[in-house]
Structure 1
Amino acid sequence: MDTYRQENMSKNVDQETRTPNWSAGAGYIDGKFMPIAEAKIPVTDWAYRRSDVVYDVVSVWDGVFFRLDDHIARFRRSMNRYKFNIKETDEEIRTILHKLMALSGLRNAYVAMDCLRGQAAPGVRSPVKARNYLSCHAVPFSTLVPQDKIERGIHMMVSSIPRIPHACVDATAKNFHWGDLNLSMFEADEKGADYPVLLDLEGNVTEGPGFNVFTVTNGVVATPDYNMLEGVSRASAMDICAELNIPFEVRKVSVAELRDADEIFVSSTAGGVIGVSRIDGRILNNDRPGPISEKIRETYWQKRLAGWHGEPVNYELE
């Protein structure tokens, strides 16, 4: 037997007999589970070539999903908006996410569900004819910014890159059209800020890369009502404001209002509620998150740790 065949047979035996390593996370692609390192999609799929994907992300903390029903419902709305159709039902998606957590054994995790456009027959260009499929994965939880920046507050800047207009791309359906968001993050890095916030073409605040934006002026919290993702964490912040009797408004927020606000905070699955301490170099609240922002943040985590909107992971799934 030649050396080439021996080496390849040895590789095949190793691949068949080795114990899967789930410690870095777990993946599910088109009906199959696998360690996250083995989760891959074809480079010829339109999901990759055209950014033709909708997705959602739910967090797990201390073995408990947060608002899983809301995330799955939004994921289904996003699929419907962009005309995706997959075989898995919502309950089957729920079971898949639980099994990913069981396989990985993670206690704190970032759990994504993606619907991808595959390929159509050779020579066919229409997405109507392309196959759709589900990809999900669970990896260790990571926050929008590290803990030290959470404590001192995010340094934010207003980007010169406008948000893609709603008439072109519906941001309420969570999607992979991140060209504007990515360019704005390069700009923020060049200007020494942690994150940018993007405006619409009329100069009103929309959102940042992966988070919703809130202002606090004279004790009143406000957040934009258009051309941004209607975040699940955003809804949580609104619920907390109602519980704490903090006045709250959902409406247009101008860039002038943002820059002149008493406080600013953001909300994201990747960290919950996080305060802002600078906007375009202007220092807020002695260079720390403001008191209302911190109260909302503290309440968010107190409620989560007490089981608010929680669904314990079924680690017994095999």
Structure 2
Amino acid sequence: MSTHGSSTHGSTPYGSFPGARPRRLRVNAAMRRMVAETRLHPAELILPAFVTEGATEPMPLAAMPGVVQHTRDSLRKAAVEAVEAGVGGIMIYGVPETAKKDAIGSPGTDPDGILQVALRDVRSEVGDELVVMSDLCLDEHTDHGHCGVLDAEGRVDNDATLERYAEMARVQADAGAHVLGASGMMDGQVGVARAALDGIGRQDVSILAYAVKYASAFYGPFREAVASSLKGDRKTYQQDGANAREALRELALDLAEGADMVMVKPALPYLDILRRIADEADVPVAAYQISGEYAMVEAAAANGWIDRNQAIMETLTSVRRAGAGMVLTYWATEVAQWLNRGDV
């Protein structure tokens, strides 16, 4: 009798592997859904948003199709839409008028600067229904585009910058931020911000430390979004992409200084680092799917080279699988809507 095909013992012309049939768990969508190890939820998504001083209508960004520089009104609407979709948070970046930028980033500490005004707008619109986050960094506000103040030789002065960050922390908390995103990669920034907040009785305001932020080519489109004035690069304070061990050192320092949450940025090029941080940290871990990651998917999809929606979900799932409990993504509201409808 021929033994071609499987027998009760799982024997085939290619060998015997009873019980070793992983494909049984992939037979249909319902099965795949039931056994999925990683799931996305709207509450885990955070929407980065840009608001531009003096804008009278939203301004589309050429390098980031579908993303705009908001007006104050359109930002409020975007926040409401995020709430309705169940998005967890919104990270706000303020873009001041060019004429108001200066060497020390004065708009960043002006209570009436665009970021502080926008924070008040969003809090008045959504209250505590959305976690409102603010970017604690100077690059949007300086005329030289660096994340800190410069010394006489044009280098970023770490400790002088910390003084500015302390001022920013106070005004952002007063404007209504629930969470301050300490993104400048200055040594000691978390401890200084924590002391500044505690000094004004704002122990309730959290700090999301950009503990691991690499100098990356993938930030390119973001610089259009914030109308960056940067000349040169940020390699003296952002991390070197060749290094992994120093990420753990940065994590330990930020945790010791009182970080409530930590971030890895960018996400996709550094999934290995994200995994290591997630394994070490005893606080929530976020990852930022940055502008260049977004732009690549949108550009490839626009050319018909990839399936846009599947690519978005695959990239986000990979970030969650690598250990991020929260993901900053420009697709946050759209993906949350898909999840709510069961479209994915």
With the length of structure 2 as denominator, give the TM-score of the two structures: 0.25
Larger radius of gyration: 2
* Structure (1/2) with the larger helix percentage: 2
* Structure (1/2) with the larger strand percentage: 1
